[in-house]
Amino acid sequence: MAYRIGKRTIGFDKKPYILSYGSVVGKKEHEGPLSKEFDCYTVDSFFGEKSFEKAESKLQKTAVQIALDKIGLEPEDIDKIFAGDLLNQCIGSSFGAREMGIPFIGLYGACSTMSLSTGLASFFIDSQAIDKAIAVTSSHFCSAERQYRYPLNYGCQRTQNAQWTVTGAGALVLGREGEGPYINAVTFGQIEDYGITDTNNMGAAMAPDDVKIRPYPKNEGMVFFYTQIQYLRGVRALFKDFLMQKLSKKLLMKLGVNLHFINTKRRNYMNLYESLLSEFGYNKPILFSEIKFNNWCPQQISRDLRKLCQDGKVVKFDSGIYYIPKTTPFGVAHFNPKKVIDKKFIKDDENVFGFYSGSYLQYELGISKLKPATIEIYTNMESRDLHKVKLGNYQISLRKPRKKIDKFNASVLCFLELMNGIDTETLDEYKRKLISDYINENRITQKQITKYIPYFPDKTCRNLIESEVIYRVPQ
């Protein structure tokens, strides 16, 4: 699950990986110092099409196909495509993607569109809404001139300080699992307007605010950079280790990027293990959000947790949930997943904020012999009437409670939900006794029922009377 870092940055718990990439450029870009870094280039500004706009669409489509071909995927393997360009209504992107058959999310972020599309795709993947996505962006000098200044056919003379919009397209394939670099966090920038009104000097309007991604105080060992390259302005995706793995130092210098390396001593991640063991113990669920260690930032904790998982010291149960396995003379002790459900949705050491309900509660009490496939829970942690989630191998239906749950009312609210959903015609004396045992164990009184019954439908009161259970509740 995504988490907040400061005011503008959002980090990812389940890091989306960059699986592949593809790039296509025009003649001028191919003649530049980065020519060897591009997959494909064309000397024809029309790219074999009848207009510059159609040429830009083909640039995008070609970049996507190159990225897919590198890893042997087809368009049907992709869940979403996040695409954008500089044209009205993103026609370069929409026409480029219309033949792929991929659900399309059109974006406009001007020079930040590549970072924007990558960042939003990362959000979808981190939330587990999708498995794979494509982020693609394009621009074309000729179509941009017609869009923002004058059509080339007009023959308007360019000023000496006029910028040259890139003719090219770049695409990334992102997924949940991979071996390459991954998206660590996304930082959203704010709008800066210095009042530049010269339409021929777009760079002056965009460059005054240097993009400076400063190290967080406790962010040791990460690579940070700043640059005046305008496409990094606005929305910036921080690729941990991406600069080191994919770009050479010489290439970065050509781009004008200044690297700041923070040299730190290699930390002994076993210190984190000893802290977790001391605080939580063996076979107890550990939520990522509750791990606090030496003022470390979430990235540091996540990195060392991965190392502990690789060594078998810690086991990842699900996204953001871990536990320390206990070894016995007979092997590794069984970890009870119900502990995770209890801690996440029912109660912690101090508070009660949820309870089981529905068919699962009836099964737990012995009223029903059939174990349901879905666990139903009312919890303060849910704000929707119904939200279905998967935790490990369990399907869970989360519901918003009728009244805020606490340790004083949880048992009576649970009892009333039980009576609201029970089939009174199937109740026999044995089942009534089981309900009576629950009433006595939790010390439920008629005074409590009177206090909370107004929050429930009339059916609840009717079932209490028709089943004669109400007469077993003490005053």
We report the CATH number of the domain holding residue 305 as 1.10.10
213-222, 439-448, 452-461: range with lowest mean pLDDT: 213-222
pLDDT of residue 251: 52
pLDDT of residue 267: 47
Tell me the mean pLDDT in the region 209-227: 38
Q: Phi-psi category of 110—alpha, beta or left, where left has phi over 0 and alpha has psi -120 to 50?
A: left
For residue 405, what are the domain limits?
338-472
Domain boundary among 261, 285, 317: 261
pLDDT of residue 417: 93
Q: Are residues 162 and 196 in the same domain?
A: yes
pLDDT of residue 353: 94
Does the pLDDT value for residue 377 go beyond 70?
yes
Distances in whole angstroms, Cα of residue 355 to Cα of each of 110, 228, 242, 455: 49, 54, 45, 16
pLDDT of residue 284: 92
- Provide the pLDDT confidence category of residue 239 given band limits of 50, 70 and 90: very low
Does the pLDDT value for residue 236 go beyond 60?
no
Does the pLDDT value for residue 345 go beyond 90?
yes
What is the distance between the alpha carbons of residues 421 and 443, in angstroms, rounded to a whole number? Answer: 21
Give the number of residues written for the chain: 475
Cβ contacts of residue 117 below 8 Å, gap of 6+?
82, 83, 84, 107, 109, 135, 136, 137
Tell me the mean pLDDT in the region 210-239: 36
Tell me the mean pLDDT in the region 438-446: 92
Does the pLDDT value for residue 79 go beyond 90?
yes
For residues 320 and 127, the answer to whether their CB atoms sit within 8 Å is: no
Q: Are residues 274 and 231 in the same domain?
A: no
Q: Are residues 225 and 314 in the same domain?
A: no
| Bigger pLDDT: 257 vs 393 | 393
For residues 272 and 305, the answer to whether their CB atoms sit within 8 Å is: yes
Q: Are residues 214 and 144 in the same domain?
A: yes
Tell me the mean pLDDT in the region 270-286: 90
Q: What percent of the chain has pLDDT over 70?
A: 84
Q: Are residues 282 and 212 in the same domain?
A: no
Q: Are residues 220 and 297 in the same domain?
A: no
For residues 358 and 422, the answer to whether their CB atoms sit within 8 Å is: no
pLDDT of residue 194: 66
Tokens 């890893």 belong to 71
Structure tokens at 321: 């949930």
Q: Are residues 155 and 172 in the same domain?
A: yes
Does the pLDDT value for residue 22 go beyond 70?
yes
Q: Are residues 11 and 80 in the same domain?
A: yes
Quote the crossing angle between the two packed helices 458-466 and 410-421, to the nearest 10°.
Answer: 80
pLDDT of residue 397: 93
pLDDT of residue 266: 38
- Provide the pLDDT confidence category of residue 246 given band limits of 50, 70 and 90: very low
Q: Is 178 exposed, middle or buried (0-12, 13-18, 19+ CB in 10 A)?
A: middle
Report the mean per-residue pLDDT for the chain.
Answer: 81
158-172, 245-259, 351-365: range with lowest mean pLDDT: 245-259
| Bigger pLDDT: 301 vs 286 | 286
Q: Are residues 54 and 127 in the same domain?
A: yes
pLDDT of residue 208: 55
- Provide the pLDDT confidence category of residue 211 given band limits of 50, 70 and 90: very low
Q: Are residues 73 and 191 in the same domain?
A: yes
Q: Are residues 378 and 278 in the same domain?
A: no
Contacts of residues 71-76 at CB distance under 8 Å and 24 or more positions apart, as own/partner, are 71/19, 71/20, 71/173, 73/20, 73/132, 73/173, 75/100, 75/101, 75/102, 76/101, 76/102
Phi, psi for residue 322 in degrees, rounded to 5:
-135, 170
Q: How many domains does one find in the chain?
A: 3
Domain boundary among 261, 289, 310: 261
pTM of the model: 0.46
Q: Are residues 170 and 216 in the same domain?
A: yes
Residue 226 DSSP code: E
pLDDT of residue 416: 94
Q: What 3-state DSSP class applies to 125? A: helix
Tell me the mean pLDDT in the region 162-166: 81
Domain boundary among 228, 243, 261: 261
114-128, 141-155, 238-252, 404-418: range with lowest mean pLDDT: 238-252
- Provide the pLDDT confidence category of residue 460 given band limits of 50, 70 and 90: very high
For residues 286 and 280, the answer to whether their CB atoms sit within 8 Å is: yes
83-87, 255-259, 370-374: range with lowest mean pLDDT: 255-259
